[in-house]
Amino acid sequence: MADSSASPSPAASLRRTPLHAAHVSLGGRMVEFGGWHMPVAYGAGILAEHRAVRTMVGVFDISHMGQFFLRGAGAKAWLNGVFSNQLGKIGPGQSLYGFLLNERGGVIDDLIVYQFGDERFLLVVNAAKIEEDWAWLSSHLPADGGGLKLENLSEECAALALQGPKAEEIFRAFFGPGVEPPPRLGVAVIPRGGMDFYVARTGYTGEDGFELFYPSAHAESVLRELLAIGAPHGLVPCGLGSRDSLRLEVCYPLNGSDLSPDRTPLEAGLGIFCALDKEFIGVEALRKQKAEGVSSRLAALRFTEKGPPPRPHYPVLHEGKPVGELSSGGPSPSLGAGIGLAYLPPELAKPGTVLAVEIRGQAHPAVVEKKPLYRRPS
């Protein structure tokens, strides 16, 4: 047996979150991800962790993600000029998903902006993009600073994502009676045990849940406490393997795979997170593309027969001819079928289109479906 996709990066050269030792002691199988040494799964395995999040609750280390804090008079107006979505839609205690775009409208990063005070914000960015986003945002600050203070606190912050239908039970058990959880997409600063938790009701799994940002010095003690409190509710630690399979089922994009500097949010089907009626970097390219029409569109595919799991970069065929490749792909534990995302000519990206995915020379039939591929039962 030989693993054809393992990364050869030596673990010693990889970055570690403040929870690295905890992962190892909890039995995490450590792998390389975007320059970080992270658990792909723990003892129960990816499928069990996936099911735990869909039916109960799981906790993920997301400390590798970046946290930038922004404050100062005019912070909102400045951020609105570099962020694709309309920050005028939110106020303190709310959050908004959107993009940092280049002049061509291509995606530098996708992120969530959380607003605390009138002019106080937290930006949570992708792990592999921290340095690039930081340099890009810094370069667009007013020359004299304009009274704005932008801080990169990625090293100082630990972060956990508590995800699943029972996440609220864990929240209440952890923060105690009298502390109300923020509403969906809301955010609050909640003091506990002598430190402030920035608690957001957001996530990357399609389930209800919370993202907790707190001082990294307490990274492990908080995780241990959550696991102890949560065990009776079915809480299990989850790795990046299930994080990826969960997000793929609900068609959340992964930057670097489904998003890139050469693809716009309109091509990715994420135009609703771009306010074309305001000015921000990249908006002109988006307006032009909207007027002219996109030349490709990110479609969600589902296998119609049993077969090997689709993987990123496998060719997508239409009537036997290559028409694109998968940007993401894998087995869907909830649907029991292979699923994937692919940029396709718009006429082939319509739900119902019959395609195939080529795997080791064999064509496996698939159909384009409406996003998301999985919806949580209501």
Instruction: Give me the residues that bind another protein (CB under 8 A), please.
Output: 1-6, 29, 40-41, 45-47, 241, 244-245, 306-309, 311, 330-331, 333, 360
Buried b (16+ CB within 10 A) or exposed e, 62-91: bbbbbbbbbbbeebbebbbebbbbbbeebe
CB of 47 to another protein, least distance (A): 5
Nearer to another protein, 106 or 206 (CB): 206
Tokens 């996003």 locate to 371
CB of 88 to another protein, least distance (A): 41
CB of 263 to another protein, least distance (A): 24
Nearer to another protein, 165 or 307 (CB): 307
Rounded Cα–Cα distance for residues 263 and 258 (Å):
9
Nearer to another protein, 47 or 363 (CB): 47
Nearer to another protein, 4 or 378 (CB): 4
Residues 6 or more apart whose CB falls under 8 angstroms from that of 71 comprise 117, 119, 120, 121, 148, 149
Query: DSSP code of 325?
Result: E
Nearer to another protein, 297 or 364 (CB): 364
CB 367 within 8 A of CB 304: yes
CB of 220 to another protein, least distance (A): 25
CB of 26 to another protein, least distance (A): 15
CB of 370 to another protein, least distance (A): 24
CB of 356 to another protein, least distance (A): 17
DSSP states along 159-228: EEEEESTTHHHHHHHHH-TT-PPPPTTBEEEEEETTEEEEEES--SSSSSEEEEEEEGGGHHHHHHHHHH
Nearer to another protein, 222 or 248 (CB): 248
Q: For 57, how many CA atoms within 13 A lie in the half-sphere containing its CB?
A: 25
Residues constituting the chain: 378
Nearer to another protein, 24 or 185 (CB): 24
